[in-house]
Structure 1
Amino acid sequence: MMLKRLLLLLKPITVFSPPSHTNPQILQFLENRRKVHHDAINFCQAILQKKSIEWKAVHRNNLSQPINDVDLVITLGGDGTLLQASHLMDDKIPVLGVNSDPTQIDEVEEFGSEFDAHRSTGHLCAATVENFEQVLDGILEGQIVPSELTRIVMSVNALHLPTFALNDILISHPCPASLSRFSFRSSGLRVSTATGSTAAMQSAGGFPMPILSQDLQYMVREPISPGATSDHMHGLIKPDQTIVATWTCRKGVIYIDGSHINHTIKAGDIIEISSKAPVLKVLLPHQL
């Protein structure tokens, strides 16, 4: 792959100001996480400079426009940074995730009884500082090529929403304790891609799917309709199929890949969901 220009999308380096009574071990752990992430940024930038590749670094919170005019996006952070990048990308530019702060098993074992010592989740990240140069060389030499991940496209009253979901969507009432109403009564409808099938969908009782599957998985959350059967409450949406539902509550929200991106809906809105979105080209870890 010819790489003339790269975009480095960075998870911001957090400066912590915790209360004075915070456990010193937690403070040290958080400061170490900040330093490891900072060092990873410097390391990756040095490798790109060494290979004479032009790059521009942007903190993910400062990027709001679609990503264009680059040959590759490299996200430095974890899955969250790659996920945020995906919302600004079409199917033309590939993305490489670099886990800048991987979890250390010895830390989890040492501090597990005192606090959560897990670091960054990098399920979709093909590189860390340990193998970044090797992975980059593989991309340059054409030995490592991107995979195409399915995304979800949604429309409300025949108008497409501008954001494609890489993981999942949830359609529900804004108040979690309230019932949602389509043609059934429940606490909502969740639809996931294969990428998101190991996250909230699996936690809710769904099943993991092969990462390159083009199917979507849907599940009605907590159905209470009389006569509701599991055959209609959980299943797959094939690539040539579309779910069409009418929202009948006064208020509703479509949550896209979590709570940060959402779209409000109202009674009478017709929602269409399918996998006909542009794919996302991701350089995946070998094990995926």
Structure 2
Amino acid sequence: MRVKKLFFYIFKCFKCQNFYRRSVIWNGGLPICFDCRPRQRSEFKPEGDVPDKCFAEKDNGEETIAVAVKALGRVHFAAATRRWHIAHRKHQAFQVLSFMEKRYQVHKDAVNFCQDILQKKNVEWQAILCSNLSQPIHDVDLVVTVGGDGTLLQASRFMDDSVPVLGVNSDPTQTEEVEEFSNDFDARRSTGYLCAATVRNFKQILDNILEGHIIPSKLSRMSIYVNSELLSVNALNDALIAHPCPAAVTWFSFRIRKDGQPCSPMVNCKSSGLRVSTAAGSTAAMLSAGGFAMPIVSKDLQYMVREPMLPRAATASLLHGIVRCDESMSIGWFSEEGMIYIDGSQVVYSVRHGDTIELSSNAPVLNIFLPNHLLLKASM
């Protein structure tokens, strides 16, 4: 039985049950013809307003109706799909906001819990917001940071090697939760790679520190000189030297020196920048960019040229390597402008064409109480 060729948009009026190719409007989500639609008092029906019906021949009427219903079903399905996507996006946004609100409350509870523990100890202590830190931290026996690695990094900028620090991860990531919401959003919580304590074991670890049962480890930091002048901040994680615009190309050269003398060839680069990390920072952005994790107590530095353009075969193997603890990296900057980002984006220094930058691990260490799993790796 042959079916005549029909237009794709065929609608069936839900009142008169006739099929139409046009003169159809939507009433409450249902198609309704021009004659059956609700009328306003000001409207009138012009003479000759006859709906354009899609009559089918008797011998193929059933197939024509089937095609029309199928087309109508497609229209309903597309509208329902759009409504579902809109509702899903609204629900997803509500989930994210609810998740962030819970994280904020958990962090506040963790801060209050740690303060309650300190109040019960026979020690003098003072609570300071990281945003209020502006002077070097001296004349204290211990610094406790409550948050994550970012909080610890921010506090470490004001600390030398005379004061140890204990990091408390206020809201550790739950693996089951991350898997549950993996299709909706990233449900990872606070990152505490360098934090030795959580709310669950803070009291026990604090008692061990006060009683002298555990001692801090020494993390290497990186000193940065610009035109032979030492910057006031040492990098605990890494330093990124790049153009202010992430899409811009930079020109620079570098070489490794030992005792003031070159010990590697000069490498001329045209790329999107240069990243240099400490051992502690080798598991952060450096690892994500294709680097390797270093022993946490190593004093060496790891460097990587970011996205080099057409590297020469002679220097390709030198674009990623190690700067030993008795060596330094000397960089010549040839772009019009550039920035040095230290441990993220909060501490930034600018460089100009012709500036020289020197990086080394010859900086005061950070005394920190590390998690047990990092101590076990360091002892292996």
Q: TM-score, normalised by structure 1?
A: 0.89
1:189 corresponds to 2:189? no
- Name the structure 1 match of 2:308: 223
Q: Over the residues paired in the alignment, what is the CA RMSD in angstroms? A: 1.5
- Name the structure 2 match of 1:265: 351
Specify the code of the residue in structure 2 equivalent to 1:284.
L
**Comparing both chains, which one has the higher relative contact order based on Cα–Cα distances under 8 Å and sequence gaps of 6 or more?**
1
CA distance in 1, matches of 2:169, 2:286: 23
* Rg larger in structure: 2
Moved over 4 A (4+): none
Query: How is 1:52-201 mapped onto 2 (pairs within 5 angstroms)?
Result: 52-183=122-253, 184=268, 185-201=270-286
SS of 1:249's equivalent in the other structure is: coil
1:248 corresponds to 2:334? yes
1:205 corresponds to 2:275? no
Q: CA deviation at 1:103?
A: 1.4
Higher mean Cα deviation, 132-141 or 112-121? 112-121
Percent identity of equivalent pairs: 62
| Counterpart among 28, 33, 46 of residue 116 in structure 2 | 46
CA distance in 2, matches of 1:214, 1:287: 19
SS of 2:109's equivalent in the other structure is: helix
Residues 92 and 184, structure 2, Cα contact 8 Å, conserved in 1: no
SS of 1:64's equivalent in the other structure is: coil
Q: CA deviation at 1:25?
A: 3.0
Q: CA deviation at 1:276?
A: 0.2
- Name the structure 2 match of 1:277: 363
Q: CA deviation at 1:167?
A: 0.5
- Identify unmatched segments of 5+ residues in structure 1: 1-19
Give deviations 1:248-283, integer Å, cap 9, x for gaps: 111011111111111000111111100001001110
Give deviations 1:114-171, integer Å, cap 9, x for gaps: 2221110111100011000110011112121111001110101110010000000011
Specify the code of the residue in structure 1 equivalent to 2:301.
L
SS of 1:28's equivalent in the other structure is: helix
Give deviations 1:206-253, integer Å, cap 9, x for gaps: 110010000000111122255253321111101110111111111011
Q: TM-score, normalised by structure 2?
A: 0.68
Specify the code of the residue in structure 1 equivalent to 2:151.
T
Given the superposition, is the C-alpha separation of residues 26 and 178 from structure 1 closer, same or farther in structure 2, using an over 3 Å criterion? Answer: closer
Q: CA deviation at 1:23?
A: 3.7
SS of 1:55's equivalent in the other structure is: coil
Residues 40 and 129, structure 1, Cα contact 8 Å, conserved in 2: yes
CA distance in 2, matches of 1:39, 1:210: 34
- Identify unmatched segments of 5+ residues in structure 2: 1-89, 254-267, 375-380
Specify the code of the residue in structure 2 equivalent to 1:223.
P
